[in-house]
Amino acid sequence: MTSTTMRALIGGSGAPRLVEVPVPQAGRRQVRIRVAAAGVNPFDLAVAAGTLADYGVARRLDSYGLGFDVAGTVDQAGDGAGFLVGEEVIGLAARLELPVKAQAEYVVLDAEAVARAPRGFTAVQAATIPLNSLTAWQALDRAGGRPGRTLLVTGAAGAVGGYLVELAALRGVRVVALAGAGDEELIRGLGAEWFVARGEDVASAVREHVPGGVDAVVDAAVLGLAALDAVRDGGTFVALTAGVAPVGLRGIDVGTVFFRADAAQLGEAVRLVEAGRLTLRVAEEYPLEKAADAHARLAAGGIRGRLVLIP
């Protein structure tokens, strides 16, 4: 690499902005990744808009980097990083208040946020793994996802929802999946035992399948109280978005899960991908300079899989 600057996307003005910034340098136990592909997630829309009061950010964000998912090649390795230059990796840029994140030509991550990329898959496919699989994994842990338990997954056809269904089924959890009526075949193929079409009375439909209510729900579709009503007394409700969790009525344990970097979990997700146990779904690809179009497409909804930016 000879250039000292690179292109990167920042948010805060309502739409992603492409700017020229210095190339970051890897420190101790860090790697610099030459980005081959970066996922676009709903959280990116909030960062781009600069309105994150629900996440504890009191001031408006006007120059923070965009992008949490990355797939690429190690370009520089700091002391103790444990990776070699030239290795293909994936990683999660989990920290919010950074000037540059994954939607850039290069990104620096702590080694604890990085795992080797899955063999036999493209960088575009691999870029859909980190945030979505870790969110699903950690939400299932919070929901008490153990063999024999029953779980409602709302928004089951989405990027996080699909991983939730697959990971839950792999753990022996009996899944009730809620999605659009046209998604039933897809959802059952991912491992759901029961299906509820969007638009039905959620609690009534779920309780027909699981009398008394499910043990837990992971509410990826942000249904709130309607999903809570499908949970048994004393069960568990897991929200994935700040400020939307309902009150824990009937002794239901209500919590919110946000993604965190975890190299061990990310490595296990890679192993499951390589074994054909986790399905990678790419909806569309966009060049970095068309990020605004990708954001608009994501905001419009109805996407099955993940949008990916190519530097």
Say if 262 falls within a structural domain. no
Same domain, 167 and 219: yes
- List, run by run, the mean pLDDT of 10-residue segments along the chain (311 residues): 88 87 97 98 85 55 83 98 98 90 98 98 98 97 97 96 97 98 96 97 98 98 96 97 89 96 97 97 96 94 92 95
Say if 84 falls within a structural domain. yes
Same domain, 210 and 288: no
Q: Kindly tell me the burial class for residue 247, based on how many C-beta atoms sit within 10 Å of its own C-beta (0-12, 13-18, 19 or more).
A: exposed
Same domain, 140 and 121: no
Q: What is the model's pLDDT at position 1? A: 62
- As for how many domains the chain has, the answer is 2
From the list 231, 156, 141, the residue with the least C-alpha distance to 191 is 156
Same domain, 9 and 125: yes
Same domain, 113 and 29: yes
- Kindly report the CATH number assigned to the domain that includes residue 145: 3.40.50.720
Say if 271 falls within a structural domain. no
Same domain, 25 and 38: yes
Dihedrals phi, psi of 306, to nearest 5 degrees: -130, 145
Same domain, 106 and 199: no
Say if 273 falls within a structural domain. no
For 36, the domain range is 5-129+281-310
The Cα–Cα gap between 164 and 175 comes to: 9
Q: What is the model's pLDDT at position 81? A: 97
Q: What is the model's pLDDT at position 62? A: 57
Same domain, 10 and 65: yes
What does pTM read for this prediction? 0.94
Same domain, 177 and 106: no
Say if 180 falls within a structural domain. yes
Say if 108 falls within a structural domain. yes
Same domain, 215 and 287: no
Same domain, 83 and 149: no
CA atoms within 13 A on the CB side of 183: 26
DSSP structural state of residue 199: T
- Kindly report the CATH number assigned to the domain that includes residue 25: 3.90.180.10
Q: What is the model's pLDDT at position 58? A: 45
Say if 217 falls within a structural domain. yes
Say if 269 falls within a structural domain. no
Alpha-carbon Rg of the chain, whole angstroms? 19
Beta-strand pair 5-11/17-22: antiparallel
